[in-house]
């Protein structure tokens, strides 16, 4: 497997006393889960997601295991809710490094809810795209043209998710993409972005060297701007391991579920 440099940070933020985010960063698995705001024991739900993915370690992981881990987490949360008469749920977003023995590695990205996956498509300064598409009321309004991107940031329903782990509407999205030397992956809960200037987030991810420095800068930016929600981030850099793998493989992608847009930040 290509060498990965990575850093994961989580913080309750400036307002909340508890942290309902959970995070797992252990190659080949990287996951951020954000307990849905307003639900009971969101930290329990996000912890269940991370626990199910931790069971896949150590060793290689395939796409079927990823899908099964999410399904098990969903069933566990539903059972927990029924037994305890609560309505806990969580988002889940992540990246799993897959290797099929051909010499070319791949990423399997997944998302359910409004935590996000971003990808810088090469070395420092290359374009940054949002891989995942939010499952949220605001995203639906954006896609229908009822609101503008500027209106989305202050919309009263901006925190309403339309899919989650721990719900009967459980339906994750998956994307399969080549893994290339020099690229960078960022996975985060919405609390990292909600109060931070988008242009500065984009600059940091595109230009700052080193996964650890990027994660520290992003969390510090969120805290500086108020961080009213829990904030979690994982940053992953794909390093040159000296192999003969072609790092110019086109950024072709396989969308494994019916989502369509990959908007720029």
CB 185 within 8 A of CB 30: yes
- The answer to whether residue 262 is domain-embedded is no
Residues of the chain with pLDDT > 70: what percent? Answer: 80
End-to-end CA distance of the chain: 29
Write down the pTM of the prediction: 0.87
- The answer to whether residue 233 is domain-embedded is yes
**Is pLDDT of 255 > 50?**
no
Map residue 55 onto helix, strand or coil. Answer: coil
Q: How far apart are CA 261 and CA 248, in angstroms?
A: 23
Question: What's the CA dihedral at 247, 182, 3, 28 to 10 degrees?
Answer: -90
Residue 251: predicted pLDDT: 33
**Is pLDDT of 236 > 50?**
yes
Residues of the chain with pLDDT > 90: what percent? Answer: 67
pLDDT tens digit sequence for 53-65: 999 999 999 999 9
Q: Is the peptide bond before 112 cis (omega within 30 degrees of 0)?
A: no
**Is pLDDT of 91 > 90?**
yes
Contact residues for 164 (Cβ-Cβ < 8 A; gap 6+): 36, 89, 90, 91, 112, 113, 135, 170
The model's confidence at residue 104, banded by pLDDT at 50, 70 and 90, is confident
- The answer to whether residue 115 is domain-embedded is yes
The model's confidence at residue 254, banded by pLDDT at 50, 70 and 90, is very low
Residue 257: predicted pLDDT: 34
- The answer to whether residue 264 is domain-embedded is no
Sign, Cα dihedral of 202, 254, 174, 237: negative
CATH of the domain at 106: 3.60.40.10
- The answer to whether residue 68 is domain-embedded is yes
Structural domain span for residue 245: 4-255
pLDDT tens digit sequence for 144-164: 667 666 666 666 566 678 899
- The answer to whether residue 114 is domain-embedded is yes
- DSSP summary character for residue 232: E
Residue 154: predicted pLDDT: 66
Domain count, the chain: 1
- The answer to whether residue 261 is domain-embedded is no
């Amino acid at each position: 497997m290509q060498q990965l440099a990575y850093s994961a940070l989580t913080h309750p933020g400036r307002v909340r006393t508890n942290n309902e985010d959970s995070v797992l960063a252990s190659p080949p698995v990287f996951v951020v889960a954000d307990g849905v705001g307003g639900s009971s024991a969101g930290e329990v739900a996000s912890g269940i997601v991370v626990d199910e993915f931790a069971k896949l370690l150590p060793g290689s992981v395939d796409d079927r295991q990823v899908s099964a881990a999410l399904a098990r987490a969903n069933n566990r949360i539903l059972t927990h809710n029924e037994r305890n008469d609560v309505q806990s749920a969580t988002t889940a977003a992540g990246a799993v490094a897959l290797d099929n023995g051909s010499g070319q590695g791949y990423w399997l990205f997944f998302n359910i809810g409004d935590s996000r996956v971003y990808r810088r498509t090469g070395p420092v300064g290359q374009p940054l795209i949002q891989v995942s598409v939010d499952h949220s009321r605001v995203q639906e309004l954006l896609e229908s043209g009822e609101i503008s991107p500027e209106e989305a940031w202050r919309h009263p329903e901006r925190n309403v998710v339309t899919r989650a782990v721990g719900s009967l509407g459980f339906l994750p999205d998956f994307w399969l993409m080549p893994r290339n030397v020099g690229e960078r992956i960022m996975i985060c809960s919405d609390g990292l972005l909600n109060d931070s200037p988008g242009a500065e987030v984009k600059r940091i991810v595109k230009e700052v060297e080193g996964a650890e420095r990027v994660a520290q800068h992003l969390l510090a930016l969120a805290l500086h701007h108020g961080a009213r929600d829990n904030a979690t981030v994982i940053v992953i850099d794909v390093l040159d391991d000296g192999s003969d793998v072609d790092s110019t493989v086109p950024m072709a992608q396989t969308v494994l579920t019916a989502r369509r847009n990959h908007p720029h930040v």
